[in-house]
Homo-oligomer: A and B are copies of this chain.
Amino acid sequence: MKKNKLLMLVLMLTICGGTFAQELSNFWNQKPIISPEITETEVTFRLMAPEADSVKIMGGFTPTVKMKTQFGEMDVPSAVDMTKDENGLWSITMPVPAVELYTYSFIVDGLTLNDPSNILLQRDGTRYLSVLLVPGEKTENYFEANKRGDMHQVWYDSKTLGLNRRMFVYTPYGYETSGKKYPVLYLLHGAGGDEDAWSTMGRTRQILDNLIEKGLAEPMICVMPNGNPNQMAAITTKLPQSELDFRDPANRNLYVNSIVKDIVPYVESNFRVIADADHRAIAGLSMGGGHTISTANEYPGMFQYICPLSMGIWGEQPEIDDKLKGLKEAGYKMYWLACGKTDFVWESAKKLDAKLTENGLKHTFFVTEGGHTWANWRVYLNTFAPLLFK
């Protein structure tokens, strides 16, 4: 702590110029800024910015406004003014928003920044956002459980993609000592995400830890690969990307093939896994929902649990009936589709629901409020994970 304070002092002195003594005195006497500060009824955000003319806050909990965009009319969050006190401390106190995990930013004279007093920061693709986690029934499983599983960042060779690639693998509490074999959930992220998305934004470890600790879900391994087939790993590694054009129809299913041919074999030979279809589940959101649908269709019988989230059938897919009939014939235990009613993929999800019905595939269509959001994807994981491997 001393080191931090010294560094901050150094910083203040160098930016404040002349009046060292006064600044020094201010610095050592100032109270640390607490933000966000949450009570049972209110939450307060604070930012020290004496020179700013305008400080706003914007996040998942600020009021939404209707806006027309090229994607249609959408509810988008608005920025809310904060108030400056005589010391230059900006703040806003508001009623605690609905129980949820939110992200937010400050906007200081038009410039977006994170809350420097908040240690909880999440990377969403290329951006970092501050996190507000409101406790309550809905978010109970997003907090740390008492019995926590391990998270492994492992590298595997994908012969299909010609790359050595990284994935995150969750092993449940007790894995080291139980000697048991476990079922596996393959959990896929969406466009803009990477192998880190489900574990940070999705709170996968916390959700599975809590569900397993409560006896609601079977102890399982969860594999979170990188679904961008030209990447070896998240852009934070700065590893080069491959040049292969994955929009070329000839390469379209390469990633789906790599799941079955590279990832599943790696997991089944490096972890204590029950290596049969009854103990394999595949789920994914958005683009990963597309990967889930394709993997099920291209490799019928491989996964007995199939859970596309916030995704469906886009455009013309003349082969879809044949593919679904093939899947029906091969057999599966659960087809669990989820989508929010205001999601921009809602129509495509309804189309998948209809196609499944039309072709006689028993399934669940789990319909929620809301759109294409992590708020929904965490709920979906929390809802379908207890249904797996039973």
Contact = CB atoms under 8 A, between A and B. Distances in A.
A212 to B, nearest CB: 14
Interface in A1-34: 1-4, 6-7, 9-11, 13-16
A68 B39 CA distance: 42
Interface string A75-88: 01111000000000
Contact of A10 (B3, B77, B133): B77
B150 A153 contact: yes
Interface in A227-258: 235-239
A271 B1 CA distance: 34
Given A116-B127, A236-B119, A150 B154 contact: yes
A331 interface: no
A176 interface: yes
Given A14-B76, A127-B4, A49 B239 contact: no
Contacts of A110: 15-16, 49-51
Contacts of A58: 11, 14-15
A259 B238 CA distance: 34
Nearest to A117: B126
23 contacts: A2-B191, A3-B190, A6-B69, A6-B71, A11-B112, A14-B58, A14-B79, A15-B58, A15-B110, A47-B111, A50-B110, A52-B109, A52-B111, A109-B109, A112-B116, A114-B128, A119-B235, A119-B236, A120-B236, A151-B152, A151-B153, A152-B152, A152-B153
Q: Which 7 A-B pairs have the closest CB atoms?
A: A51-B109, A10-B76, A113-B113, A151-B153, A150-B154, A51-B110, A152-B152
